[in-house]
Amino acid sequence: MTAAIKQAGRRVRHGFRLAERNAIYLAKGEFVAALELLAQANDLAHDSRFYSRSLVEGLAALEESRDFVRARPGGKPLDVARIASGHRTPIAKGQPADGLTSTAALRRYHDFALERLATAAAGDPCGSAALFGLAKVAQTDIDGSLAEHLQGNDRAQVLFRAALVADPGNYRAANELGVILAHDGDLEGARELLSRSAAMRPHPTTLRNLASVQSKLGQGMLAEKSLGQAAQLEMQGAGRGGPAVTWVDPATFAHTKPASDAATPPAGKAPAAAPPVAAGEQPTVTTARGGVADWLPWNPRR
């Protein structure tokens, strides 16, 4: 099992490096391969096919869920029963033709995918990192249409949630999911996740994200406290020569080539502090995207 985890870790690292070079589909293959290695190792340990089957079913459900957001000519409603009949995913099969809307089917597929993928990762931080990588890929794997962009973020949300179930300590997944919820208007959910991320691993931009949400919730004093903590961490980071992290929103990330580690400022150079938030002004919620090491939970540079 230890050998499989090490090999899976190498595949995950390679996947993030491929993503840095904008080789998104190759990166996706590496993340899936890492999950396959972990699932196979767990199957071997338990003399079963349970984990590998869960992985296949979860990935299939996530991919097949795309069919429920494809536009129909003339705005006609989708035939959910017919679509589901051709799928591998069983949860919507046998439903009456008028018994399930495309929105409800999409939700069921996503719930099914989340449960199966989290199970396949088997509580392993490496599996959680692979799911995190797939979530980042989902935010880039879009065809430019509004429906596909929204669906890409929905798929990413499923994968970030699965990453958190697999490893509750994945603070990057907590931040990214919090950002998505904030953009979707779920401020309470965003506040909870961003607070959780900041508690696990305080980072200036996580705290600024949290301050943004707190400000929108009318929690001005808490927002000021979070901004103060962010400023203090930035000063401490400058003293340690800690690496800066570039953070952008999911839509920008989807159209931007990932930065390389070479973009990190040299040690001893302080990252520029973000301007203070004026009274009544709401800071922009942003999401993390830095070099490959900034994506990994076992970041060797910290």
**pLDDT tens digits, 227-238:** 999 999 988 873
**Is 288 found in the same domain as 215?**
yes
Which of 151, 168, 185 is at the close of a domain? 168
Name the pLDDT band for 268 (thresholds 50, 70, 90). Answer: very low
**Is 26 found in the same domain as 150?**
yes
Could you tell me if residue 260 is inside a domain? yes
**Is 112 found in the same domain as 25?**
yes
Could you tell me if residue 107 is inside a domain? yes
**Is 146 found in the same domain as 48?**
yes
What spatial distance separates the first Cα and last Cα of the chain, rounded to whole Å? 27
**Is 161 found in the same domain as 205?**
no
Cβ proximity of 174 and 164 under 8 Å: yes
Average the pLDDT over 260-273 and give the result.
33
Which of 114, 149, 168 is at the close of a domain? 168
**H runs (alpha helix) in the chain:** 2-20, 24-46, 50-64, 80-85, 102-121, 125-138, 146-166, 171-183, 187-200, 204-216, 220-240, 250-254, 292-295
**Is 297 found in the same domain as 229?**
yes
Could you tell me if residue 132 is inside a domain? yes
**Is 271 found in the same domain as 156?**
no
**Is 211 found in the same domain as 145?**
no
Could you tell me if residue 183 is inside a domain? no
Question: Which amino acid is located at 206 in the chain?
Answer: T
Which of 149, 168, 187 is at the close of a domain? 168
- What pTM does this model have? 0.77
Length, in residues, of the chain: 302
Could you tell me if residue 126 is inside a domain? yes
Could you tell me if residue 262 is inside a domain? yes
Q: Give, in order, the Cα–Cα distances in Å from 165 to each of 66, 127, 131, 290, 299.
A: 23, 11, 10, 24, 20
Could you tell me if residue 173 is inside a domain? no
| Count: domains in the chain | 2
pLDDT at 253 over 50: no
**Is 206 found in the same domain as 139?**
no
The sign of the dihedral angle between the CA atoms of 123, 129, 135, 138 is negative
**Is 204 found in the same domain as 143?**
no
Strands 287-288 and 247-248 come out as antiparallel
Name the pLDDT band for 96 (thresholds 50, 70, 90). Answer: low
Any idea which of 80-84, 90-94, 144-148, 195-199 has the lowest mean pLDDT? 144-148
Average the pLDDT over 149-175 and give the result.
90
- 270: containing domain: 195-302
Could you tell me if residue 187 is inside a domain? no
**Is 155 found in the same domain as 201?**
no
- Point out which residues pair with 288 in neighbouring strands: 247
Q: What's the pLDDT at 227?
A: 95
Cβ neighbours of 103 (radius 10 Å): 12
Q: What's the pLDDT at 142?
A: 59
Give 232-288 as a DSSP string. Answer: HHHHHHHHHTPPP--EE-HHHHHTSPPPPGGGSPPTTPPPPPPPPPPTT--PPP-EE
pLDDT at 297 over 80: no
**Is 200 found in the same domain as 160?**
no
